[in-house]
A and B are shown apart, each in its own frame.
Chain A
Amino acid sequence: MNVFDIIGPIMVGPSSSHTAGAARIGKVARKLLGDELQEVRIQFHGSFAHTYKGHGTDRAIVGGLLGFEPDDLRIKTSLEIAAGLGLAIVFEKVQLREAHPNTVVIKMRGGSGKALSVIGSSIGGGNIVIKQIDDLKVEIYGEYYTLAVVHQDTPGMVAKVTGLLAKNSINIARMNLYRSRRGGEALMIIELDQRVPSRAIKSIANLECVISVRHLEPTKRLGGE
């Protein structure tokens, strides 16, 4: 445990789970899209659906989508800022099966036409978990530098990607593989102790059978950082 989990984080109120955590989910979702955001459909489930207006969960998610950290005061006016940028936003309430009470589905469409759907839950104290990316069930906590590599499901991909990380002296904290079907599209989620330099990201992206690479900064900000 960390003292800054107890006295901290610095955040925009009123709720660590319904506001700070929501902003973090938005931020990770936007990073996963990796494109300029044009349209977004935000679907609230459970307690999020019930109280999102009073807790500013809507503003926090949109703030996160705009790249704001959970302590950024612009979260309060994020809806107005998004409107000014021409971002089309729809809010809806949904009932998901077997989902955490604080869950949101974020369906995004980017400037280049790319669409991505992300499901995330705010699991307490501002901590989050991304549960699904499009059809793939995942588990991303966003506490580490994270690489999300979409690739063809073919032998040797893990060795190639981790080999490049090793060459750059980057240590892996946790790693998971997901795929929709054998030989189809697969997703590698690698949580790392160090930031991945852009040239290493480029060389991973240039590997045969790699479709896309996203690099996520840790979203948890401690006091003073």
Chain B
Amino acid sequence: MVHIDSLQVLADIAKERQENISDVILIEQARENEESADEVLKKMSANLKVMKEAVKDGMALDVKSESGLSGGNARKYQQAVLAGKTLGTGMLDSVIMRALAVAEINASMGRIVAAPTAGSCGIIPAVCLTLMEDKRISEKKVVMGLFTAAGIGMVIAKNASISGAEGGCQAECGSASAMAAAAAVEMCGGSPHMVIQACGIALKNLLGLVCDPVAGLVEVPCIKRNTIGAVNALAAANMALAGIESVIPPDEVIMAMKSIGDLMPGVLKETAEGGLAATPTGKRLEKEIYGIK
């Protein structure tokens, strides 16, 4: 790979080559793998296929996690949308429904694509597949959007973290949201500069989010956090497409995420000892799940 160690470098390379960020990432990955671009594209298409299946499976009636803590809410949401019981927010409804579906299928030991992690696996498919349907974006373009998302994720992983145990939920759902926002902007024709602005805005909005899963399981609050990551991605993408900029440059937002992650106490980093996990209900559920008296 050419040295892509910041979002600015990534956007600059794309601008210089008059390409999209996705093209830069695809070409560099093909070079590194010693494969053709087509072969690398094919692998990413396989990821998109699994994302689609995960949405479909997540809408099924019998989704239930091992612990019994989660499952069935994607279906419930879909029914409510169809019955006109929600606020009727169109694309927002669609991303919420899809994010729930994928995150629930993950919790029930179904098949997903870690994006960037299993805990945050609903955000990117929710945004990409919703745009694909609502904006009639071609499958090829959506696959390229996944390369954009991956490129952003690589920079975040390099300069901060994409692991909840290291950086809290901001590192998982925050990163996924930034990656999804970036993909959305590119898929909708935004410039590389807009792409990284969307990433900065999305990440900024979720800074400080802790990882406090009840009973240590990827369910509560992870599943619903996927919906907020997806909704936030749409907001950030829209702002970036409108030409709104992140006052703090995107790369500095990543630095801030790293420093916040480092400052975050261990009890709020996937250890199930703080936050929601430590609430009376969180503790009770933990005892019930593991049969502790």
Contact = CB atoms under 8 A, between A and B. Distances in A.
B15 interface: no
Contacts of A8: 47, 113-115
B13 to A, nearest CB: 15
Interface in B39-93: 40, 42-47, 50, 65-67
Interface residues of A, number: 36
A3 B179 CA distance: 12
A76 B65 CA distance: 11
Interface string A8-44: 1111111110011000000000000000000000000
B127 interface: no
Contact of A225 (B43, B121, B219): B43
B218 A13 contact: yes
Contacts of A15: 118-119, 218
B154 interface: yes
B157 interface: yes
Interface residues of B, number: 53
B109 A224 contact: no
Interface string B4-33: 000000000000000000000100010011
A90 interface: no
B111 interface: yes
B216 A14 contact: no
Contact of A12 (B110, B124, B217): B110
Contacts of A55: 66, 216-218
Contacts of A9: 113-114
Interface stretch (B132-140, B158-166, B256-264): B158-166
Given A54-B216, A224-B43, A10 B111 contact: yes
A4 interface: yes
B289 interface: yes
A75 B109 contact: yes
29 contacts: A3-B150, A4-B47, A6-B115, A6-B149, A6-B179, A7-B44, A7-B115, A7-B153, A8-B47, A10-B47, A11-B112, A13-B105, A13-B109, A14-B107, A14-B108, A14-B218, A20-B118, A53-B67, A53-B290, A54-B289, A59-B109, A71-B50, A73-B110, A76-B109, A124-B163, A223-B44, A224-B42, A224-B43, A224-B44
